[in-house]
Amino acid sequence: MKRIWATVNLFFFYLKEVLLSNFRVAHDVLTPRHRMKPGIIAVDVEGLTDWQIFFMSNLITMTPGTLGLTVSEDRKKLFLHAMYIDGSVEELAESLRKDYGRRVKSVF
């Protein structure tokens, strides 16, 4: 039962993230001023299996404004490109680790 709840939770969380990201990218494209602050970040994925890292990376890549680049050889970092880094790189990396990593880990 916990896994079913975790799957539903991940689905609705991801749906919200995709919708918000779509609006943000569309707004940036349709307005004359670009608010992009792109950068590459390293998300800690230590403790996740290869399958969990694969799933997390694909979810992040399918979200507009982000792209999974590679996983470190020691499988401890997932490198991503983000179009919008509003705060610090570390805050965004930690947020992705907690939001995506925790949910993916609970499903698989």
State the Cα–Cα distance between residues 104 and 6, nearest whole angstrom: 8
- Structural domain span for residue 35: 2-107
What is the reported pLDDT for 49?
Answer: 92
pLDDT per residue, tens digit, the chain (108 aa), is 888 999 999 999 999 999 999 999 999 889 988 888 899 999 999 989 999 999 999 999 999 989 999 999 999 999 999 999 988 899 999 999 999 989 999 898
Sign of the Cα torsion 78, 46, 57, 60 reads: negative
| Ramachandran bin of 47, using left for φ above 0, alpha for ψ from -120 to 50, beta for the remaining angles | left
DSSP 6-38: HHHHHHHHHHHHHHHHHHHHHHHHHSSS---B-
Among the listed residues 62, 54, 65, the one whose alpha carbon sits nearest the alpha carbon of residue 104:
54
What is the reported pLDDT for 35?
Answer: 85
Query: How many domains is the chain built from?
Result: 1
What is the reported pLDDT for 88?
Answer: 87
